[in-house]
Amino acid sequence: MVPCSDSPLLAAALQYAEMGYAVFPCRPGAKLPATGHGVLDATTDAEQIRRWWSRRPDFNIGLACNGLVVIDIDPDGLAWPGDDDKRRGIRGTGCPVQRTPRGGFHLLFSVPAGHQWRCSASLLAPGVDVRTNGGYVLACPSVVKSKTYQWIRPLVRKEELPVPPGWIVEALDAVEQRRQSPSAGNDRPTEHRDLGVLVEGQRNAGLASLAGRLRRSGLTQPELEAALLEANRLRCRPPLPEKEVLSIAKSVGRYPPGPVESCWAMRQAWRRAVEHRRWKYATRRHF
């Protein structure tokens, strides 16, 4: 255990880092990151963690899911997997289990060698989300709506996490195959909508990454804000609050832009998109 006489949240964050999990602060009582780059800022560095929580001892704890796969079961997905043998298979792994404030569960596994999955929402099963590389979850004793995350089967060191049961591995592989393979007939619109979607746990990192590319391509601050707002509307499920998106744009906008000469086409494309967005909302105000 990491000795710590400070807040319970800081003590827990330091403990997670000592166990090999990268953490970062989230806003008190909420799931939104409290740093400019969200999960991209996650670290195991104890001094940085202390600096963060010295500013706000009540910061929630974001646990980065790089190298992990977290099965996030919402209350409306509690019937999953619907088979006693499969449930016994999950219990048999001894995987850490965390109860969420809404009454759902997080099941934590390591990613088996040779497999690469992406975060998803309700693709594994209705009400069952997946958090992995690029995503994050809140960790005990974080609080949302006055309710606390709780470990009901304790967390182990990162290198000691079990791999998922074989049937979960097969199901996750099947999800990836469906997402990567061209669809035919009536499946095509659904597959098209899934491409590029940023689900909860990915949204801040995804928008920050997009903002960095656009800033390097030479976009100005107003162009960057308009582009992220549109990307948030089209790609994030659910969309982030506008204030959060503008905060990402402001943070990334502090960096110098790339050379204008090398990005004229991209700048022109985004300017047209920005002009279209302004025209569309101006029209809505009149009609």
Q: Tell me which of 32 and 105 has the higher pLDDT.
A: 105
| Cross-strand pairs, 43 | 23
The CA-based angle 231-177-206, given to 5 degrees, is: 20
Residue 248, phi-psi category: left (phi > 0), alpha (psi -120 to 50), beta (remainder) = alpha
Q: CA 7 to CA 59: how far, in whole Å?
A: 10
What integer pLDDT is reported at residue 6 of this predicted model? 64
Q: What is the pLDDT of residues 134-176, one digit of tens each?
A: 899 999 999 999 999 999 999 999 999 999 999 999 999 999 8
Give all strands (DSSP E) within 52-192, no chain letters: 60-64, 68-73, 97-99, 105-110, 120-125, 128-131, 136-139, 143-144, 147-148, 150-153
Q: CA 152 to CA 70: how far, in whole Å?
A: 15
What integer pLDDT is reported at residue 83 of this predicted model? 85
User: Rounded mean pLDDT of the chain?
Assistant: 83
Assess contact for 129 and 72: CB atoms under 8 A. yes
Q: What is the pLDDT of residues 57-110, one digit of tens each?
A: 999 999 999 999 999 999 988 999 888 899 999 999 999 999 999 999 999 999
Q: DSSP 3-state assignment of 7?
A: coil
| HSE (side-chain half, CA atoms, 13 Å) at 224 | 28
Q: Name which of 207, 200, 190, 210 is nearest 238 in CA terms.
A: 200
Q: Name which of 130, 159, 143 is nearest 71 in CA terms.
A: 130
Lowest mean pLDDT among 34-48, 160-174, 236-250, 256-270: 256-270
pTM value surpassing 0.95: no
Structural domains in the chain, sorted by start: 1-64 (no CATH), 67-131+150-183 (3.30.2250), 202-286 (no CATH)
Token pair recorded at residue 170: 């097969």
Name 275's Cβ contacts closer than 8 Å, sequence gap at least 6. none
Percent of the chain's residues with pLDDT above 70: 82
Interstrand relation of 198-199 and 236-237 (parallel, antiparallel or unpaired): parallel
What integer pLDDT is reported at residue 103 of this predicted model? 94
106 phi/psi in degrees, rounded to 5: -110, 125
